[in-house]
């Protein structure tokens, strides 16, 4: 073994040891060293930067341990947060490339008191699951085609490795393996197309729950005018492409929170062809959060693998002003969080949050805080469900490259 190899191995071992120590709940409260008297914030939920107070230190989602997962294939986890800072598919206000860093800033206080979720009776920061923040996928802002390729490959690298828990048990992927869950921080909504392409490689077609004020199934000639193939893939058309590419399970998908204007009633018709049912935001006045939850659960069923995509513009701009295409008449943060918690028990395999553009936020960080809290509910239902090995799903037929 030469010097370079030895040095490389010792660096990798040190990195692996650091990750293990942070992920291990028994060890993380043991602080040793000459300055241990300075450290005080060691609550159970505090995921790894425990030497810092919540308002200091380097930001990760919920102060989870950071690990360079894209650079090191041997780092494992059960849930990974990964950023996709892409915003060159927007039709109106750009700025969602700062979404990942903004959401992390907004999430700093999530586990100040330990992170226990009272209504769900679980602590996603202190459970069976090893949860990491894997940083961001490198994304070019100069070439959309290349950027979408980067996002698909980056996501697939995070998705397609063995999880920390139940790695050797059978799971619901096409290859019969158990995989980790991935939560992606966008980015404008275009990113959901490469994310679903990655998901499709692992699971085949999936069922999508799409929270948004907009349909995003528009045909390119209706949305954006489609002057080129590159322009035809944008944050209003990606679900049209996903449907055309066979990434969605037929007639199991649902939008929730819709209140956009249309080019005409044919947009709803086209949406149906793409495999979606629609829950409009205003339905909450009649059927309440319970009725909305029931509609979603009835549509997605018990046996489908589910992907959840959350556009922050689902929320009313009073609660989340910092987004590319805000629409008034949306749900409150309380209503959205109740609806998300109502999805407990579904076969959630992965999720994203998109369209957070922090430059338009209030000084009080309304939007990034709302985004972080919504993700906290999503993370909680993932943890409460258990590892993906426990999922009872109807598999797709295709073969896998896993």
Binding site, annotated residues for Mn(2+):
189, 212, 214, 216, 311, 313
Q: Is 311 in the site for Mn ion (CB under 5 A)?
A: yes
Q: Is 210 in the site for Mn ion (CB under 5 A)?
A: no
Q: How many residues bind Mn ion (CB under 5 A)?
A: 4
Task: Name the residue among 196, 181, 184 with its Cα closest to residue 96.
Answer: 184
Tell me the three-class secondary structure of 128-142, residue by residue: CCCEEEEEECCCCCC
Given candidates 313, 316, 335, 344, which one binds Mn ion under the rule CB under 5 A? 313
Q: Give residues with Cβ within 8 angstroms of 171, minimum separation 6.
A: 177, 178, 179, 387, 388, 389, 391
Residue 397 near residue 204, CB atoms below 8 Å: yes
Please, which residue, 91 or 105, has the CB nearer to Mn ion?
Answer: 91
Residue nearest to Mn ion (CB): 214
In a 13 Å sphere around the CA of 276, the CA atoms on its Cβ side amount to 28
Please, which residue, 28 or 237, has the CB nearer to Mn ion?
Answer: 237
Task: State the minimum distance, in angstroms, from the CB of residue 364 to Mn ion.
Answer: 23
Q: Is 255 in the site for Mn ion (CB under 5 A)?
A: no
Tell me which stretch binds Mn ion (CB under 5 A): 139-147, 212-220, 279-287, 394-402: 212-220
Task: State the minimum distance, in angstroms, from the CB of residue 213 to Mn ion.
Answer: 5
Task: State the minimum distance, in angstroms, from the CB of residue 177 to Mn ion.
Answer: 34
Q: Is 212 in the site for Mn ion (CB under 5 A)?
A: yes
Task: Name the residue among 133, 83, 75, 82 with its Cα closest to residue 108.
Answer: 133
Please, which residue, 152 or 212, has the CB nearer to Mn ion?
Answer: 212
147-150 long-range Cβ contacts below 8 angstroms, 24+ apart: 147/86, 147/88, 148/86, 148/190, 148/191, 148/193, 148/194, 148/233, 149/194
Q: Is 344 in the site for Mn ion (CB under 5 A)?
A: no
Task: State the minimum distance, in angstroms, from the CB of residue 305 to Mn ion.
Answer: 24
Please, which residue, 133 or 361, has the CB nearer to Mn ion?
Answer: 361
**Helix, strand, or coil (residue 117):** strand
Please, which residue, 179 or 248, has the CB nearer to Mn ion?
Answer: 248
Given candidates 108, 177, 214, 249, which one binds Mn ion under the rule CB under 5 A? 214
Please, which residue, 65 or 257, has the CB nearer to Mn ion?
Answer: 257
Tell me which stretch binds Mn ion (CB under 5 A): 48-56, 72-80, 118-126, 310-318: 310-318
Please, which residue, 6 or 282, has the CB nearer to Mn ion?
Answer: 282
* Phi, then psi, of 97 in degrees rounded to 5: -65, -20
- The helix-helix angle for 284-300 and 333-341 (nearest 10°) equals 30
H/E element holding 151? helix 144-159
Q: Is 352 in the site for Mn ion (CB under 5 A)?
A: no
Residue 367 near residue 330, CB atoms below 8 Å: no
* Phi, then psi, of 177 in degrees rounded to 5: -100, 155
Which residues lie near Mn ion (CB under 5 A)?
Answer: 212, 214, 311, 313
């Amino acid at each position: 073994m030469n010097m370079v190899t030895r040095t490389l191995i010792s660096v990798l071992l040190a990195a692996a040891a650091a990750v293990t120590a942070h992920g291990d709940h028994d060890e993380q409260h043991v602080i040793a060293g000459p300055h241990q008297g300075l450290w005080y914030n060691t609550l159970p939920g505090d995921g790894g930067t425990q030497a810092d107070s919540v308002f200091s230190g380097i930001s990760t989602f919920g102060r989870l341990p950071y690990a360079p997962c894209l650079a090191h294939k041997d780092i494992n986890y059960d849930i990974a947060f990964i950023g996709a800072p892409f915003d060159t598919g927007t039709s109106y206000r750009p700025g969602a490339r700062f979404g990942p860093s903004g959401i992390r800033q907004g999430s700093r206080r999530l586990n100040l008191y330990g992170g226990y979720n009272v209504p769900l009776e679980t602590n996603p920061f202190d459970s069976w699951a090893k949860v990491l923040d894997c940083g961001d996928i490198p994304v070019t802002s100069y070439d959309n085609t290349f950027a979408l390729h980067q996002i698909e490959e980056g996501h697939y690298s995070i998705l397609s490795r063995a999880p920390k828990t139940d790695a050797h048990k059978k799971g619901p992927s096409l290859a019969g393996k158990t995989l980790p869950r991935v939560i992606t921080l966008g980015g404008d909504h275009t990113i959901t197309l490469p994310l679903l392409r990655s998901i499709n490689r692992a699971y085949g077609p999936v069922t999508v729950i799409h929270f948004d004020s907009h349909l995003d199934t528009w045909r390119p000639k209706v949305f954006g005018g489609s002057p080129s193939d590159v322009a035809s893939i944008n944050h209003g058309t990606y679900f049209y492409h996903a449907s055309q590419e066979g990434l969605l399970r037929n007639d199991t998908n649902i939008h929730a929170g819709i209140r956009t204007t249309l080019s005409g009633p044919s947009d709803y018709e086209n949406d149906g062809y793409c495999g979606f049912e629609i829950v409009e935001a205003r339905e909450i006045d009649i059927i309440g959060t319970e009725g909305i939850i029931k509609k979603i659960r009835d549509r997605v069923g018990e046996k489908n693998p589910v992907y959840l995509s959350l556009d922050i513009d689902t929320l009313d701009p009073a609660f989340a002003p910092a987004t590319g295409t805000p629409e008034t008449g949306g749900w409150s943060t309380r209503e959205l969080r109740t609806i998300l918690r109502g999805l407990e028990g579904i076969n959630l395999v992965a999720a994203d949050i998109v369209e957070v553009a922090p430059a338009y936020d209030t000084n009080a960080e309304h939007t990034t805080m709302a985004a972080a809290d919504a993700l906290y509910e999503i993370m909680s239902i993932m943890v409460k469900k258990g590892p993906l090995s426990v999922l009872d799903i109807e598999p797709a037929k295709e073969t896998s490259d896993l």
